[in-house]
Structure 1
Amino acid sequence: MKKLIVLLLVPFFLLAGCGNESGNATQSDAEGKINIVTTIAQIGDIAKNVGGEHVQVESLMGPGVDPHVYEAVPSDIDKLENADLIYYNGLNLEGQMNQIFEKMQEEKPTYAVAETIPQEKLTADPENPEVADPHVWFDIQLWQYAVEEVTNALIELDPDNKADYEKNREAYSKELDELHEYALQNAEEVPEKSRVMVTAHDAFQYFGDAYGFEVMGLQGLSTDSEFGLKDVQRIVDTLVERDIKAVFVESSVSDEAINAVVEGAKDKGHEVEIGGEIYSDAMGPEGTEEGTYVGMFTHNIDTIVNSLK
Structure 2
Amino acid sequence: MSTSPPRTRSSAALAFLAGLLGVLALAVGGCAADEEDRPSVVVTTNILGDITRNVVGDEADVTVLMRAGADPHSFGVSAPQAAAMEQADLVVYNGLGLEENVLRHVEAAGEAGVSTVAVGDGVDPITYTSGESAGTSDPHFWTDPERVREAVDLIADQVTEHVGGVDKAAVAKNASAYGRQVDDLTAWMRDTFDAIPAKRRQLVTNHHVFGYLAERFGFRVVGAVIPSGTTLASPSASDLKSLSTSIEKAGVRAIFVDSSQPDRLAQVLKRETDTEVDVVPLFSESLTEKGKGAATYLEMMRSNTASIATGLSTR
Tell me the equivalent position of 1:89. 94
Give the TM-score normalised by structure 2: 0.81
Residues 190-239 of structure 1: per-residue CA shift (max 9 Å, x gap):
22221112111101111111112222212210112110122222222233
Distance in 2, matches of 1:128 and 1:232, equals 17
Tell me the equivalent position of 2:249. 241
Distance in 2, matches of 1:55 and 1:193, equals 47
**Among 286, 303, 315, the residue aligned to 1:299:** 303
Count of paired positions = 280
How far did 1:160 drift?
A: 5.1
- Higher mean displacement: 181-190 or 144-153: 144-153
How far did 1:282 drift?
A: 0.8
Tell me the equivalent position of 2:136. 131
Aligned-partner residue type, residue 35 of structure 1? S
How far did 1:82 drift?
A: 4.3
Q: Say whether the 8 Å CA contact 1:123–1:206 is kept in structure 2.
A: no
Tell me the equivalent position of 2:283. 279
How far did 1:145 drift?
A: 2.7
Distance in 2, matches of 1:233 and 1:159, equals 57
Tell me the equivalent position of 1:152. 157
Residues 224-278 of structure 1: per-residue CA shift (max 9 Å, x gap):
211012222222223323333322220233212211111112xx3x222223x11
Residues 140-187 of structure 1: per-residue CA shift (max 9 Å, x gap):
111223212210121112365111111111111111111111111111
Give the TM-score normalised by structure 1: 0.82
Distance in 1, matches of 2:107 and 2:68, equals 26
Point out the structure with the larger strand share.
Answer: 1
Q: Which runs of 5+ in 1 are unaligned?
A: 1-24
Distance in 2, matches of 1:154 and 1:213, equals 35
Q: Say whether the 8 Å CA contact 2:133–2:229 is kept in structure 1.
A: no
1:217 aligns with 2:221: no
The structure with the larger Rg is 2
- RMSD between aligned alpha carbons? 2.5
Aligned-partner residue type, residue 210 of structure 1? R
**Which SS does the other structure have where 2:84 is aligned?**
helix
Distance in 1, matches of 2:70 and 2:126, equals 24
**Which SS does the other structure have where 1:197 is aligned?**
strand
For residues 1-309 of structure 1, the aligned pairs below 5 Å read 29-30=34-35, 33-106=38-111, 107-118=113-124, 121-126=125-130, 127=132, 130-156=135-161, 157-158=163-164, 161-215=167-221, 216-219=223-226, 220-265=228-273, 268=274, 270-275=275-280, 277-286=281-290, 290-309=294-313
Change (3 A) 1:177 1:37: same
Q: Percent identity?
A: 28
Change (3 A) 1:238 1:93: same
Q: Say whether the 8 Å CA contact 2:87–2:114 is kept in structure 1.
A: no
Aligned-partner residue type, residue 303 of structure 1? S
